[in-house]
Structure 1
Amino acid sequence: MMPYNNEIDHIAKVYKALGEPTRIKIIRLMAKQDELSCAEISKSLNLIAGSTLSHHLKLLTECGLLKLKKVGVYHIYQIQKEVLKHYAPAVIDY
C-alpha cells in the first residue's frame, strides 16, 4: 500500500531539510538540549549571519523537526525527537 501524498510530501520535506550540513549540525546540537534560543544556537555553532541561521531554523521548523516557542522577543527552539527518530534516527550523534 502506497503512503498518502501528504505523508510522501512530509517525508520529502524532512529529508530536504536534512540535506544541508549546517542543518544536521543544528539538529545534533538540539538533540542534546531541551531548548535553545537563536543566539545560543549561533554561539554553539559559531555562526555569524543571523539571517542564514533563521533560514535554516525555518526549514527545520516547517518540516516538524523543531518546534518554535516565542517568549517575549526571544525565539526558543525545541527538537521534536519523535519526528527525528521516525524519519532520520541516524542523524542523532550517540
Structure 2
Amino acid sequence: MGDEPFEEWLPQPDVSEVELVKVLHALGDPVRLRLLKVYADGEQYSCAPGALGLDHLHKSTVSHHMRIMREAGVTSTRVVGRGRYVRLRRDDLDARFPGLLDALIAAL
C-alpha cells in the first residue's frame, strides 16, 4: 500500500464549460496541432518531450503547450508519482462540438 504512487487529475473544465473559442485558440499553434495529431489515436502519453517527438523543445515549453490544451478542455492530464500522462478528451469534444476534431485531424 505504501509503495503505490499517488495519482491525481489536474484541473480541467467540465465538458459543459469547454468553449469553442478557447479550443480553437489552443489548437492555433503548430506545436499544439502536432500534439493533437499524436493524441488523436486515443492513447495516453507521457509528457516527456522525447515520448512525443518534441526532442527539439525544452521541457518547460512542452509543459506550457500541454497546460494550454488542458485548460482549454482539449486534453486531460493524470499525475502518477512524478509522471504526467496526457490523453485527448475525444468523447467530450465530440459531444460538445460534433465533427470538429475529425475535420482538424483530417487536415493535418
Q: Under TM normalisation by the shorter chain, which class is it?
A: 0.7 to 0.9
Of the three residues 53, 57, 63, the one matched with 2:62 is 53
Which runs of 5 or more structure 1 residues have no equivalent in the other structure?
A: 1-5
* Alignment pair present for 1:92 and 2:105: yes
1:75 to 66, 73, 84: 84
**Is this contact kept in 2: 1:47–1:53, CA < 8 A?**
no
With structure 2 as the length reference, what TM-score do the two structures score? Answer: 0.68
Runs of 4+ in structure 1 off by over 3 angstroms are none
Root-mean-square deviation (CA, aligned residues, Å) is 2.2
How many positions carry a matched residue from both structures?
86
The percentage of counterpart residues that share the same residue type is 29
* 2-structure distance, mates of 1:45, 1:90: 24
In the other structure, the counterpart of 2:26 is 17
**Using CA pairs below 8 Å that are at least 6 residues apart, which structure has the higher relative contact order?**
2
